[in-house]
């Protein structure tokens, strides 16, 4: 993939299944990566070392806290030299019927998924504005882990769907405002991924599992590795003219099966 070698990449939620898969793809392509997450330091450093003892690092990062994000990015720059790609991947989900959604669950989901995305994107963009620019070439890439439900309702998904719908509009505003400054913004929107939060729910909730199985036209969930390739593409020179859009990786789920 063109234009990845030597790039500095920051990934929030970097120690989760999708985060690690994305980090691995960037490392394979010659980038250097910092994983931001909430693991204890020892566990986080071990996760980064397993990916690469020399080209990956771990920093503690709470995306709901501006000081924490700013501190994590400062530490990332100390290792990377500069932030070329920032991926807002940290997320949470609580599935509840609308009438049962608690104020705490609603707020927590928005805090992590939407406000967390805002915090990472804004802090990273401010640093990217300091990156040298050649002519009208890109000086930074901001990417989000969205979801296919950002534009389609899902049962018991009031807080999650709302947070991802808000993230979609946030991305478009960022793309629109920062394009003249050489910074692109896009979303990778997975469908049913057998990883992280969805994997945990799928394995413990048979009703949810049956719903998933009859929703996806390709008749299977996708892997974290299948999601990771789209992040790499959007950060590469092949996608330098792509901004303000979503790549939906849902196995056709948004097409809605009719049988």
pLDDT of residue 214: 82
Q: Give the dihedral of Cα atoms 259, 211, 13, 44; nearest 10 deg.
A: -130
Q: Identify whether 198 is part of a domain.
A: no
CA end-to-end span of the chain, whole Å?
39
101-130: average pLDDT: 98
Q: Identify whether 1 is part of a domain.
A: no
* Residues of the chain above pLDDT 90, percent: 82
Does the structure show a pLDDT above 70 at 44? yes
Q: Identify whether 208 is part of a domain.
A: no
Q: Identify whether 201 is part of a domain.
A: no
CATH number of the domain to which 112 belongs: 3.40.50.720
Confidence band, pLDDT 50/70/90 cuts, at residue 258 = low
Q: Identify whether 60 is part of a domain.
A: yes
pLDDT tens, position by position, 1-42: 799 999 999 999 999 999 999 999 999 999 999 999 999 999
Q: Identify whether 94 is part of a domain.
A: yes
pTM: predicted TM-score of the whole model, two decimal places? 0.94
pLDDT tens, position by position, 179-222: 999 999 999 999 989 987 778 888 998 888 888 888 888 888 89
Q: Identify whether 103 is part of a domain.
A: yes
Does the structure show a pLDDT above 90 at 145? yes
**Hey, which residues are catalytic here?**
147, 160, 164
Determine the Cα–Cα distance for residues 94 and 79; give it in Å rounded to an integer. Answer: 35
Domain limits for position 22: 8-193+223-250
Number of structural domains the chain divides into: 1
Q: Identify whether 135 is part of a domain.
A: yes
DSSP three-state, residue 236: coil
């Amino acid at each position: 993939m063109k234009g990845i070698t030597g790039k500095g990449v920051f990934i929030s939620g970097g120690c989760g299944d999708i985060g690690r898969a994305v980090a691995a793809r960037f490392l394979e392509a010659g980038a250097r990566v910092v994983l931001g997450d909430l693991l204890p330091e020892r566990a986080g450093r071990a996760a980064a070392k397993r990916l690469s003892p020399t080209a990956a690092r771990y920093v503690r990062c709470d995306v709901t806290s501006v000081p924490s994000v700013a501190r994590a990015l400062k530490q990332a720059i100390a290792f990377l030299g500069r932030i070329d790609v920032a991926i807002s991947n940290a997320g949470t989900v609580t599935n509840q019927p609308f009438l049962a959604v608690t104020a705490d669950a609603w707020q927590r989901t928005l805090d992590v998924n939407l406000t967390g995305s805002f915090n990472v994107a804004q802090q990273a963009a401010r640093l990217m504005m300091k990156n040298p620019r050649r002519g009208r070439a890109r000086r930074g890439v901001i990417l989000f882990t969205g979801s296919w439900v950002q534009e389609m309702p899902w049962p018991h998904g009031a807080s999650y769907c709302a947070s991802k719908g808000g993230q979609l509009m946030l991305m478009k505003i960022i793309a629109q405002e920062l394009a003249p400054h050489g910074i692109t913004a896009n979303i990778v929107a997975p469908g049913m991924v057998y990883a992280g939060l969805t994997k945990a729910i799928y394995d413990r909730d048979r009703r949810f599992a049956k719903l998933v199985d009859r929703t996806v036209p390709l008749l299977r969930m996708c892997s974290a590795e299948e999601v990771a390739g789209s992040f790499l593409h959007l950060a590469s020179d092949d996608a330098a003219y792509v901004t303000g859009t979503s790549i939906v990786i849902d196995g056709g789920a948004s097409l809605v099966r009719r049988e």
